[in-house]
């Protein structure tokens, strides 16, 4: 049975990604999967794509990856995000763009394909950020497996549904939400469904500036979020030297 490293929202931050890949080697995972947004915001898009393509057995496409391929997808982005995506597009060659083009919007892994991978929300609707129990209750309509892994919010979180029936409409009060603590396993009980978010490698937004990632253990049935310190000043310098908006470097120091 498998121990799966789960990374998401790397956003062109190479020092953070390398710190996480080092830690995943220590965790003796059998494979690593990526939930998208490899690029956008950060100064190392090509290097991050190279590492992710080399190390990850499954990669789903995020909205920033998509916006690199198609500028129309950046229409809803704020000014700094749009500027960074335009900057990123100019720095990627045809091989990198082809690699993004090959990423699918969802993927399934594990025995009986019991783990679903998406970037943002398995149930398309007006809100794509699964950030609270109200949105999660709707998102569970799209989860017909025991476990759904997603990113996009940049905040580590686990939502638990009381049953395994995607046809039944859930209300928010029926769900349990867990805020994962660094290194503390969350048990995934049988007969329930889970939406698990590992947080963001390259731009955490839960006020902890350390890179966030997770290990999903399909034998022990646990999901464990870990944090990895990395050289934030180095990526800030690279970001400013690249001419990217200063706010993108500033926010890394506070994890917001």
Q: Could you give the CA distance from residue 74 to residue 83 in angstroms, rounded to a whole number?
A: 10
Q: Which helix (H) or strand (E) holds 5?
A: strand 3-7
9 in contact with Zn ion (CB under 5 A): yes
φ/ψ (deg, to 5) at 195:
-110, 120
Cβ at position 30, least distance to Zn ion in Å = 26
Give the x-and-dash track for 110-149 against Zn ion (CB under 5 A). Answer: ----------------------------------------
Nearer to Zn ion, 146 or 245 (CB): 245
Cβ at position 101, least distance to Zn ion in Å = 19
CB under 5 A: which stretch of 5-13, 156-164, 181-189, 243-251 binds Zn ion?
5-13
Nearer to Zn ion, 32 or 175 (CB): 32
Cβ at position 119, least distance to Zn ion in Å = 8
Residue number of the CB atom closest to Zn ion? 37
Cβ at position 154, least distance to Zn ion in Å = 6
CB under 5 A: which stretch of 6-14, 15-23, 190-198, 245-253 binds Zn ion?
6-14
206 in contact with Zn ion (CB under 5 A): no
Beta strands across the sheet bearing 211-217: 56-59, 31-34, 3-7, 211-217, 222-228, 186-187
Q: Which helix (H) or strand (E) holds 165?
A: none
The 10 Å Cβ neighbour count of residue 71 is 12
Candidate residues 10, 16, 32, 37; the one interacting with Zn ion per rule CB under 5 A: 37
The C-alpha torsion from 234 through 240 and 243 to 246, rounded to 10°, is 130
Radius of gyration of the chain (CA): 17
Nearer to Zn ion, 42 or 146 (CB): 42
Contacting residues toward Zn ion, per CB under 5 A = 9, 37
């Amino acid at each position: 049975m498998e121990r799966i490293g789960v990374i998401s929202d790397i956003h062109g931050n190479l020092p953070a990604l390398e710190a996480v890949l080092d830690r995943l080697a220590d965790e003796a995972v059998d494979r690593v999967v990526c939930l998208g947004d490899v690029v956008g915001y950060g100064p190392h898009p090509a290097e991050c794509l190279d590492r992710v393509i080399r190390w990850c057995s499954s990669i789903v496409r995020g909205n920033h990856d998509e916006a690199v391929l198609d500028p129309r997808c950046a229409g809803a982005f704020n000014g700094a995000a749009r500027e960074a995506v335009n900057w990123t597009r100019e720095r990627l060659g045809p091989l990198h763009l082809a690699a993004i083009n090959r990423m699918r919007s969802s993927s399934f892994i594990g025995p009986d394909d019991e783990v679903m991978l998406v970037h943002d929300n398995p149930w398309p609707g007006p809100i794509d950020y699964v950030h609270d129990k109200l949105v999660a209750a709707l998102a569970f309509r799209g989860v017909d497996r025991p476990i759904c892994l997603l990113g996009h919010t940049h905040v580590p979180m686990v939502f638990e549904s009381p049953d395994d029936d995607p046809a039944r409409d859930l209300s928010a009060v029926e769900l349990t939400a867990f805020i994962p603590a660094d290194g503390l396993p969350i048990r995934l009980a049988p007969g329930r469904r889970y939406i698990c978010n590992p947080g963001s490698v390259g731009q955490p937004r839960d006020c902890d500036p350390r890179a966030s990632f997770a290990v999903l253990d399909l034998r022990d049935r646990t999901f464990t979020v870990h944090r990895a310190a990395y050289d934030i000043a180095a990526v800030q310098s690279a970001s400013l030297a690249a001419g990217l908006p200063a706010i993108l470097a500033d926010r890394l120091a506070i994890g917001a």
